[in-house]
Structure 1
Amino acid sequence: MPSRRTIETAVALACRAPSLYNSQPWRWVLGSQDLSLFSDPDRILPATDAFGRQMVLSCGAALNHLRYAFASLRWTSVIDRLPHSQGRQCLATIGLAPAQDVSDTDDRMATAITRRRTERLPMDPPGRWDQTFAQVTELAAQSGTHLEDIGEHGRPELEAMSRRLSGLRRADPVYQAELRWWAGHSLYPEGIPAEALRPRDTARSRSNENSLPETSPPTPETRTTARRSCCSPPLRTPGWTGCAAERRCRPYFSPVPIADSRHAQSHI
């Protein structure tokens, strides 16, 4: 196993992965022989992601970042996805072995983690779609994922579904309250900060805040309890660690929950 410092460095990079509303719904547990990735059900967004699909995708992005982070530190990740676990909250276990060879691609991908940003504005289509699609399909296949292009014939139907869902969500006070709770604030490392939103989105959020009934936790104290990652010092403090799922501090022993590493803020 690598040193604790190496593991902390890799996990901190992994936690810069994108996630739904920057909710960072992951939890890392360090055992004697491996590292485990758990979903954090306390961070599921019931109105936006009722079935937890986006939560799992967010954790998958963190796992991808972790693999490249360890590769750049000269460790090979041996990943067992979806092992048997109670409640299926364990999404992966990661065994580690010294890397014999590290590709330039692995180093470039790890370096890109710190430069990655989520672009929330509309994007122009790529100039050479066929070439781009072939490259993306090849990358997806490396992770055992099949990718399909819906084509021009399917786009009108997809657009109609998207517009219908947008209308339903605009009229859903629970969804709007959840969106208001996670977006437009800069006090916490989780959530979408105000500076990442377009001006009209910020204005709409403020308008919703004045017009919609309060269905999310109403007080700063309640919100702090739900959104702060832990009350403990960072992981590197000897002898103590924090666990967001337990909402308390305690001495660590093996296996030990890594201090959620949400203090390594995801950048949006």
Structure 2
Amino acid sequence: MRPSLATCRDALEMTVRAPSVHNTQPWRWRILPDRIDLYADSHRHLKATDPLARAMVVSCGAALHHMEIAFAVLGWGVQIMRFPDATDRDLLASVRFVPRPIADTDIQLAAAILLRRSDRRRFPAGELPAGSIRAIAAAGCRLGAAARQMPERFLHQLGGPMREAADRHAIDPEYCAELAAWSGCHGAASGVPARNTPAARSADELPVRAFAGPELPEFTSAPDAAQWLVVCTPNDDRSSQLRAGEATSAMLLQAARLGLASSVQSEPLGMLDLRDQIRQSALHRCAYPHIMIRVGAMPSGASPLQFTPRRCVEEVIQVA
């Protein structure tokens, strides 16, 4: 017994709302009679931004977790086999299905998929709800990763590598060309839209990635008051990268469920020496960092963000 083709399409419509590096949406789905296979779309690999394709696999992991939530709210549990074929590097997971009752948590997380945005604006100062960061971190831990919260006094351990990555990228012509192709977009179904991007903040202690053609006004000119978490795993293989993506999805959805804003940052993690520097200083060489999450609370007066566009689901599925 498996979901109908219509149910699969409905679930994948929700699945493709997952976040991805530069909104490249680097995934393909093959619907088979007994399962759905998830493939990495290597044609959307950002070679200058993500030379080792780690962020691509993390992005696909986020989509895999979104898929689990999407099917759960439609009454189906999933059984995931990760990397089922060692000879096919792009085949990341095979997913089979079993009927299951819909839980309240399924409904809440599915709603969070529709509510979540990547909010790159400065977050205003203010106390977050008690226990919220712990709850967000715990959501990731249940998916096989850990989340190290960075206290304010240790933020320089991230800020130094982030500024160095921005400086290197600013004079890298291949990176700049790639960034221009995938950001500052108007009306495109992929890439980072200009309307959702604030101007670069090089003066901030933790500068977020600078995208092309920013048009989004900041809510506040005060220093960014975001809370930062580093998503990490004990190992550094592709399975760990996929798990880190699943955990990142769970954490972002938990933040949205709690009414908090969030975005992700991975710029220095694409450079081996800077990634190792973060591993050394922030994680004491006990784990490998895959992505960084910033969380904050936007007041009700902040302008709501529009959806980031997604490709039509028909473009990313194949029915066998």
User: TM-score over 0.5 for the alignment?
Assistant: yes
Q: Residue 40 of structure 1 aligns with which residue? A: 41
CA distance in 2, matches of 1:144, 1:14: 20
Q: Tell me if structure 1 keeps the 8 A contact 2:170–2:176.
A: yes
CA distance in 2, matches of 1:96, 1:27: 18
CA distance in 2, matches of 1:86, 1:193: 36
* Matches for 1:170-189 after TM superposition, within 5 Å: 170-189=170-189
Cα drift, residue 157 of structure 1: 2.9
Q: 1:200 to 1:124 in 2, by over 3 A?
A: closer
**What SS class does the counterpart of residue 51 from structure 1 fall into?**
coil
Q: Residue 111 of structure 2 aligns with which residue? A: 111
Post-superposition Cα deviations, 1:22-59, rounded to whole Å, max 9, x if no partner, equal: 10000001122100111011001011011111111111
* 5+ long unaligned stretches in structure 1: 208-227, 236-241, 244-255, 260-268
Which of 209, 212, 222 pairs up with 1:205?
Answer: 212
For 1:205, the aligned partner's letter is A
Mark the structure with the bigger radius of gyration: 1
CA distance in 1, matches of 2:125, 2:139: 19
CA distance in 2, matches of 1:125, 1:78: 42
CA distance in 1, matches of 2:5, 2:213: 44
Q: 1:157 to 1:137 in 2, by over 3 A?
A: closer
Cα drift, residue 63 of structure 1: 1.0
* Matches for 1:21-100 after TM superposition, within 5 Å: 21-99=22-100
Cα drift, residue 152 of structure 1: 4.6
Cα drift, residue 205 of structure 1: 3.4
1:120 aligns with 2:120: yes
Cα drift, residue 130 of structure 1: 7.3
Q: Tell me if structure 2 keeps the 8 A contact 1:76–1:97.
A: yes
* 5+ long unaligned stretches in structure 2: 202-209, 215-309
Q: Residue 161 of structure 1 aligns with which residue? A: 161
Q: 1:137 to 1:112 in 2, by over 3 A?
A: closer
**What SS class does the counterpart of residue 50 from structure 2 fall into?**
coil
Q: 1:128 to 1:119 in 2, by over 3 A?
A: closer
For 1:53, the aligned partner's letter is R
**What SS class does the counterpart of residue 144 from structure 1 fall into?**
coil
Cα drift, residue 88 of structure 1: 2.1
Q: Tell me if structure 2 keeps the 8 A contact 1:126–1:132.
A: no
CA distance in 2, matches of 1:84, 1:155: 40
Aligned residues: 216
Q: Tell me if structure 1 keeps the 8 A contact 2:74–2:102.
A: no
Q: Tell me if structure 1 keeps the 8 A contact 2:194–2:213.
A: no
Cα drift, residue 86 of structure 1: 2.5
For 2:318, the aligned partner's letter is P
CA distance in 2, matches of 1:113, 1:197: 20
**What SS class does the counterpart of residue 205 from structure 1 fall into?**
coil
For 2:212, the aligned partner's letter is S
* Matches for 1:3-14 after TM superposition, within 5 Å: 3-14=4-15
Misfit runs of 4+, over 6 Å: none
Cα drift, residue 196 of structure 1: 1.6
Q: Residue 248 of structure 1 aligns with which residue? A: none
Relative to the length of structure 2, the TM-score reads: 0.61
Post-superposition Cα deviations, 1:113-135, rounded to whole Å, max 9, x if no partner, equal: 22221112122466258723321
Q: Residue 257 of structure 1 aligns with which residue? A: 318
Q: 1:64 to 1:184 in 2, by over 3 A?
A: same
Q: 1:95 to 1:75 in 2, by over 3 A?
A: same
